[in-house]
Amino acid sequence: MDDPLPGYVGEARRILEEAGVSVGDRIRIIRGDRVFEGILMPREKLYPRPIIVVKLDNGYNIGIRVTDKTRIEKIGKLVKPSPLIPPETRRRENYPHVIIASTGGTIASRVDYETGAVKPALTSRDLAALVPEVFDIADIDTSIIFNIFSENLEPKHWEQIVEKTREFIEKGYDGVILTHGTDTMHYTAAALSFALRNLPVPVVLVGSQRSSDRPSSDAAFNLISAVLVAAEAPFSEVVVVMHGETGDSYALAHRGVKVRKMHTSRRDAFQSINDIPLARIYPYEKKIVLLREDYNRRNKKRRLVVENGFDPKVALVKFYPSITSEIIDFYVDKGYHGIVLEGTGLGHFPERLVESIRRAVEEGVIVVMTSQCLFGRINMHVYSTGRKYLEAGVIPGEDMLPEVAYVKLSWILARTRNPDEVKRLFQTNIAGEINPRHNVHIYPRWYHGE
Amino acid sequence: MDDPLPGYVGEARRILEEAGVSVGDRIRIIRGDRVFEGILMPREKLYPRPIIVVKLDNGYNIGIRVTDKTRIEKIGKLVKPSPLIPPETRRRENYPHVIIASTGGTIASRVDYETGAVKPALTSRDLAALVPEVFDIADIDTSIIFNIFSENLEPKHWEQIVEKTREFIEKGYDGVILTHGTDTMHYTAAALSFALRNLPVPVVLVGSQRSSDRPSSDAAFNLISAVLVAAEAPFSEVVVVMHGETGDSYALAHRGVKVRKMHTSRRDAFQSINDIPLARIYPYEKKIVLLREDYNRRNKKRRLVVENGFDPKVALVKFYPSITSEIIDFYVDKGYHGIVLEGTGLGHFPERLVESIRRAVEEGVIVVMTSQCLFGRINMHVYSTGRKYLEAGVIPGEDMLPEVAYVKLSWILARTRNPDEVKRLFQTNIAGEINPRHNVHIYPRWYHGE
């Protein structure tokens, strides 16, 4: 940071320069009868409006508009982030030891000053420096696995993350945090859930819906919650930790095989489907409220089981009314090993595609059925169409999300290609991806005007 | 019905025969201190348990288990259904005139006694006879358009339904009801919404999640609600009318372009996405509670606009992590005219597919972007990946559901193939499919253990 006021232009920059403050200083902003105190944050150049971004003591960033009447006072010196990170040689006694490893995504991104778009840039070290609260909870190391927007991640990247996570766990960390782009976080969470089992400590995926240098970022809230889970949660599973509602009250820890990004932009985009989250997390109160008892318990003596490897030759095919059998033939002819159908309702595809599916199965391609409804369970016995697909050899996907069924099939096909064995494994509940009993609560309540 | 007790076997049959009753009789069942009164209904053979199915006066079917202490009394004669249907020559004054046209699906199906599975069978005439309450609301004609499970419907079938609906409206009906399989009801609803505009009267799609001869069927409840909307609602739009919650309190009327089947089996599977339903419908109280004011008002003098025709050469391609550009090339090489991408988050696809998309656009294929999140809006300006796809010529799909974007593109491409004109039409709000403002209520509330 050569510029002491990165991102500030115009009136906002003028008033900050006048007050002699730099990014990182603790400042007081007085505007009429309102007073704000906090750390001056860097600003992105997207918005030319004169806004000063301050990190408040509750850990949250706000943008304050500069008016004629705004005064600024410096009340503390620039806090260099580096001393905040305890070097590995200076461990504090009785503090859990957590690692934050970044894979890219918005939580580790900042605005690209040239294009105005958001690009991955911050390392988890930078990020930890921006969220010093995490050091109240644990000693923290950071690592960069890679820096890739999550829409570009492929099964080979899951394998790298699995391998790195195994290393972290074997090094004896009390919890592993993986920062990840939100777009495909649920795919990676499912992949880790199948590949890393009997976990001694939690593996936490966390991201943010707004980049960490934006005033409205959810990065700090989510990261503190993730550190709390990694350091203290009684469950050692692969979980996604993200905002639970739009306010700043709690985050949720979702089981990695039962969660999905359900909104393009809301902070509470991640929600459990056909399941209830493991816990609510209150990051400021440092409190974890468990919502269930059926989890793998944290136990550092537990022997981690790693079964890494994913078959990329698996396709996810969503039904649409003009779909033809050509698309099934295409995948068979291209040598794919598995096809996940995202059918309608209880698990249907048009009858006109049955013969192409039968051919696929006969040629050794594993075909499974899921539903584009997302909620509920497949039942291919009720209607004649479903029965025809069953008879053609399609394996019903229970209450698995299409995305999870896709990851599971990719994982199974890297272990075995024997159809009977694939079928057996696919219908076995390996990581909680099959919820045998749905209570009425797990379907959300829609607004109907009451 | 040669057998007076179709579907009854064993103990249940014995006790019914002893009481000298037939299906259609009004009976009283006394079991301990509980008394049930209603019409004896036919029974499917799926379940051998001794259960007697009775249609209660609230219009709902229940199954009552026969025990040693069960007594049955006949309190009324068999009611032949046919006289309940007022012949077209005997119109009642001041009664709205509604038509129920069937296209197939569970609401017009019964259990196949040979295979045990549900097959389409009942005509809307049969169905109306099973739900006599509808004649308290309107004079009703029935018609069969075709009898096809909805997963088998293609764009050509939408065209037939549009044409038939136009005929019904031109004949002067006060409302048109289309019974339809639930699996793809939302696709057909969207298709009708684009093809039939400036409607003088409502067009109501209705279905059921359980077949109408099952004790737990939602067919009667939904059908009475649909007739109420067709006969009396102040809005004349294409709507889906289905159960609003699991109980029997209200149904919902959803705008045809903003609704989706969200559960494989629940009665309240249909929910508005990125929008609020038009109304709650209370079928037993015969009450419609409007939830909004921005609708096309019922006015029989309005001149219906019909623009029929759908292009089947449109594909819906859902992102998955191992997706390759081959699938895009496949559709381009097969001569497809449009591709709807169901991307991640704000509207992303892997960067490695950008060049194949650019080629598709250069060859005249229209490519649009939607999100597998379902909730929220596309914004391809925020991240560099989105900007690359925009630059390659991809049209962002606003807050449209992937399914609706698919139907809309199919409808547009049957009108014009000029890329600029397609783009203009796609980004124009034609039937309410783009909701420019989302209030906080439209994201459902998930259960988080409170």
- Quote the strand ranges of B185-304, DSSP E: 196-197, 203-206, 238-243, 251-255, 259-261, 270-272, 279-282, 287-290
Residues 297-316 of B with CB under 8 A from A: 312-316
Q: Is A183 annotated as catalytic?
A: yes
**A347 interface with B at CB cutoff 8 Å:** yes
* Higher pLDDT pick, A112 / A323: A323
| DSSP result, A192-216 | HHHHEES-SS-EEEE--SS-TTSTT
Greatest Cα-to-Cα distance within chain A, rounded to the nearest angstrom: 78
Mean pLDDT, range A50-55, rounded to an integer: 83
Q: Is A106 annotated as catalytic?
A: yes
The CA dihedral of A242, B433, B161, B318, to the nearest 10 degrees, is -40
How do strand B305-306 and strand B196-197 relate by DSSP bridges? antiparallel
Please give the pLDDT value at position A248. 85
> Is-contact B269 B181, C-beta < 8 A?
no
**Residue A422 tokens, joined:** 């694939």
Mean pLDDT, range A347-368, rounded to an integer: 98
pLDDT beyond 60 at B44: no
Please give the pLDDT value at position B322. 98
Please give the pLDDT value at position B214. 63
pLDDT tens column, A236-294: 999 999 999 888 899 999 999 999 999 999 999 999 999 999 999 999 999 999 999 99
pLDDT tens column, B431-448: 999 999 998 889 999 999
Q: Which of A83-87, A204-208, A244-248, B297-301 has the lowest mean pLDDT?
A: A83-87
Confidence of residue B86 (pLDDT cuts 50, 70, 90): very low
The answer to whether the CB atoms of B322 and A313 lie below 8 A apart is: yes
Residues 182-221 of A with CB under 8 A from B: 182-184, 187
Phi then psi dihedrals of residue A192, to 5 deg: -65, -35
Please give the pLDDT value at position B115. 45
Q: Cβ-count burial of B315 within 10 angstroms (0-12 exposed, 13-18 middle, 19+ buried)?
A: buried
* Measured distance CA(A246)–CA(B365) in Å, rounded: 39
> Is-contact A316 A400, C-beta < 8 A?
no
pLDDT beyond 80 at A2: no
H and E: helices and strands count for chain A: 10, 23
Confidence of residue B213 (pLDDT cuts 50, 70, 90): low
**Residue A383 tokens, joined:** 């209607």
ipTM: 0.82
How many residue contacts between A and B have a Cβ separation below 8 Å? 246
* Measured distance CA(A54)–CA(A61) in Å, rounded: 6
Sheet of B251-255: strand order equals B139-144, B97-102, B175-179, B203-206, B238-243, B251-255, B279-282, B287-290
pLDDT beyond 90 at A401: yes
Sheet of A175-179: strand order equals A139-144, A97-102, A175-179, A203-206, A238-243, A251-255, A279-282, A287-290
Phi then psi dihedrals of residue A18, to 5 deg: -55, -40
Domains in chain B, ordered, with CATH?
Answer: 10-76 (2.30.30.520), 82-306 (3.40.50.1170), 314-426 (3.40.50.40)
**Residue A355 tokens, joined:** 């013969």
Please give the pLDDT value at position A78. 59
Please give the pLDDT value at position B252. 98
Confidence of residue A66 (pLDDT cuts 50, 70, 90): confident
**Residue percentage of chain A with pLDDT more than 90:** 65
Q: Model-level pTM?
A: 0.83
pLDDT tens column, B239-253: 999 999 888 899 999
Confidence of residue A115 (pLDDT cuts 50, 70, 90): very low
Please give the pLDDT value at position B81. 42
* Measured distance CA(A355)–CA(B150) in Å, rounded: 19
Confidence of residue B202 (pLDDT cuts 50, 70, 90): very high
Q: Cβ-count burial of B115 within 10 angstroms (0-12 exposed, 13-18 middle, 19+ buried)?
A: exposed
Q: Which of A160-174, A423-437, B140-154, B410-424 has the lowest mean pLDDT?
A: B140-154
* Measured distance CA(B74)–CA(B213) in Å, rounded: 21
* Measured distance CA(A222)–CA(A133) in Å, rounded: 12
Confidence of residue B53 (pLDDT cuts 50, 70, 90): confident
Q: Identify which of B377, B384, B448 has the shortest CB distance to residue A117.
A: B384
Q: Identify which of B153, B371, B402 has the shortest CB distance to residue A264.
A: B371
Please give the pLDDT value at position A244. 94
Q: How far is CA B376 from the centre of its chain?
A: 23
Quick one: DSSP state of residue A191?
H
**A326 interface with B at CB cutoff 8 Å:** yes
Please give the pLDDT value at position B339. 98
Instruction: State how far residue B359 is from chain A, nearest Cα, in angstroms.
Output: 20
Residues 355-384 of A with CB under 8 A from B: 371-379, 381-384
Mean pLDDT, range B5-29, rounded to an integer: 86
Please give the pLDDT value at position B386. 94
Contacts 24+ apart (CB under 8 A), B162-166: B162/B191, B162/B192, B162/B195, B162/B196, B162/B306, B162/B308, B163/B308, B164/B101, B165/B101, B165/B192, B165/B196, B165/B203, B166/B196, B166/B304, B166/B306, B166/B308
Confidence of residue B224 (pLDDT cuts 50, 70, 90): very high
**Residue B124 tokens, joined:** 């809307």
Please give the pLDDT value at position A81. 42
pLDDT tens column, A176-195: 999 999 999 999 999 999 99
| Cβ contacts of B105 within 8 Å, gap of 6 or more | B120, B149, B150, B179, B180, B181, B182, B183, B185, B207, B208
| Cβ contacts of A250 within 8 Å, gap of 6 or more | A244, A280, A281, A282, A289, B448
Residue written as token pair 């057909």:
B188
* Measured distance CA(A342)–CA(A319) in Å, rounded: 6
A337: left (phi over 0), alpha (psi -120 to 50) or beta: alpha
* Measured distance CA(B407)–CA(B428) in Å, rounded: 14
pLDDT beyond 80 at B3: no
Mean pLDDT, range B333-356, rounded to an integer: 98
pLDDT beyond 60 at B189: yes
* Measured distance CA(B337)–CA(A185) in Å, rounded: 32
pLDDT beyond 60 at A111: no
Q: Identify which of A117, A250, A326 has the shortest CB distance to residue B382.
A: A117
Please give the pLDDT value at position A38. 86
* Higher pLDDT pick, B443 / A124: B443
Mean pLDDT, range B329-353, rounded to an integer: 98
Candidates A91, A8, A88, A17; CA nearest to A52 is: A8
* Measured distance CA(A367)–CA(A378) in Å, rounded: 14
